[in-house]
C-alpha cells in the first residue's frame, strides 16, 4: 500500500503559519518539534486520516521566492469537506479572500480561496460529490 503522507508548504514564520492553519482553516496541530536553532518539524492536518501539511520555513532566497506560488499560480491544494457552508462562513469570518465561487459544479459545490501566503485552494463540498 502507498499513500501520500505529507506535502510541504513553504512559509515565512512557523508560529504565524501554525496560527493561520489552526485558527483560520481549523486544522489540527499534529507535531511541532525543534530540530535546530532555525528548523522545526511542524505538521498540521485537516482531520484524521488526511494527508498532513509540513510547514517548512524558507531557508534560502529561492525558497522565499516560492512562498505563496508553489504551483505557478494554479490551484495548489484541494480540501474536501462535509460541512461546506460552515467552512465557507469560517473563511469569510476570518477575512480570507474568496477568489471564485461558491458555485455548484458537476463534481460538487466548490469555491477557490487564497491562503495567507497566496496559495490557491479549492474547497469542495464532500456531501455534494
Over residues 80-112, the pLDDT tens digits come to 999 999 999 999 999 999 999 899 988 889 999
Number of domains in the chain: 2
Strand 108-114 with 120-125, pairing: antiparallel
Based on the fold, state whether residues 27 and 87 are members of the same structural domain: no
pTM: 0.90
The CA distance from 108 to 97, in Å, is 20
CA nearest to 117, candidates 16, 6, 3, 1: 16
Preceding omega of 102 cis (within 30 degrees of 0): yes
User: For all residues of the chain together, what is the average pLDDT?
Assistant: 93
Question: Where among 45, 67, 89 does a domain terminate?
Answer: 67
Based on the fold, state whether residues 41 and 102 are members of the same structural domain: no
CA nearest to 71, candidates 5, 117, 107: 117
Based on the fold, state whether residues 123 and 87 are members of the same structural domain: yes
Based on the fold, state whether residues 57 and 87 are members of the same structural domain: no
Based on the fold, state whether residues 12 and 46 are members of the same structural domain: yes
Grid coordinates representing 44 are 498540521
Based on the fold, state whether residues 21 and 36 are members of the same structural domain: yes
Over residues 60-84, the pLDDT tens digits come to 999 999 999 988 889 999 999 999 9
What is the domain extent for residue 82? 69-129
Q: With the C-alpha atoms ordered 106, 50, 74, 101, is the resulting torsion angle positive or negative?
A: positive
Based on the fold, state whether residues 63 and 76 are members of the same structural domain: no
Amino acid at each position: 500500500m502507498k499513500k501520500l503522507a505529507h506535502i510541504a508548504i513553504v512559509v515565512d514564520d512557523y508560529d504565524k503559519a501554525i496560527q493561520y492553519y489552526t485558527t483560520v482553516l481549523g486544522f489540527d496541530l499534529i507535531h511541532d518539534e525543534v530540530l535546530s536553532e532555525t528548523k522545526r518539524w511542524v505538521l498540521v492536518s485537516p482531520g484524521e486520516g488526511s494527508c498532513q501539511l509540513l510547514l517548512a520555513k524558507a531557508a534560502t532566497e529561492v525558497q522565499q521566492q516560492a512562498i505563496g506560488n508553489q504551483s505557478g499560480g494554479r490551484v495548489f491544494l484541494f480540501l474536501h469537506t462535509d460541512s461546506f457552508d460552515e467552512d465557507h462562513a469560517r473563511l469569510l469570518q476570518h477575512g480570507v479572500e474568496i477568489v471564485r465561487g461558491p458555485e455548484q459544479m458537476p463534481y460538487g459545490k466548490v469555491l477557490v480561496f487564497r491562503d495567507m501566503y497566496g496559495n490557491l485552494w479549492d474547497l469542495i463540498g464532500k456531501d455534494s460529490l
